Amino acid sequence: GRWGRRRHGRKGLGATVIAVDMLDERLEVAKELGADYVINGKEDVLARVMEITGGRGADAAIDCSGSPHAENTALNALRPHGRAAFIGECRELTIHPSNQLIRKQVTVMGSWYFPIFEYDEITRFIMEKGLPVEKLVSHTFPIGEAETAFRMFDERKTEKAVFVWD
């Protein structure tokens, strides 16, 4: 999954960023955006996170994939008192509350979108930190090619697409 990849903004706040994805192309983009470490999800992600953090675990984890496996890995990789945010939608997730939440005293939240009143703050942060957000855009389409754009999205052949009006 895309667990952590979207944390590139945290890099601007001094965090060590560990990006996880199943696709090497996305991991390359994560590196370009400043990820300190990249892990292919086909590896033992939990073991790698523990190795990178000296056995401590991650302070925070963000899963954007909605994959039950990735969300469980995110929970398992957290340090005591860590925080997890799930952004990708998952139909069903089986967790082990005692081991993954209660005994570690972690905080878990879901996030659907940024409210409009936060747009100015987010934009200001991106501009001040010089984050290369253009690297997140994989395709640009004229509005007349909307059908093609949506088909490619449904086929998972795009990341972030932008429509342009002439």
- pLDDT tens digits along 39-81: 999 999 999 999 999 999 999 999 999 999 999 999 999 999 9
Burial 26-57 (b: 16+ CB within 10 A, else e): bbebbeebbbebbbebeeebeebbbebbeeeb
pLDDT band at 119 (very low <50, low <70, confident <90, very high): confident
Residues 94 and 160 in one domain: no
Residues 156 and 126 in one domain: no
Residues 126 and 152 in one domain: no
**CATH code of the domain in which 66 resides:** 3.40.50.720
The tokens describing 69, both together, are 């496996």
Segment 141-148 mean pLDDT? 95
Residues 153 and 89 in one domain: no
pLDDT band at 90 (very low <50, low <70, confident <90, very high): confident
Query: What does pLDDT average to over the chain?
Result: 89
Residues 13 and 63 in one domain: yes
Residues 94 and 123 in one domain: yes
Residues 116 and 141 in one domain: no
Q: How many distinct structural domains can be found in the chain? A: 2
**DSSP secondary structure, 66-91, as one string:** --HHHHHHHHHHEEEEEEEEE-S--S
Instruction: Write out the residue range of the structural domain in which residue 141 sits.
Output: 132-166
Residues 79 and 18 in one domain: yes
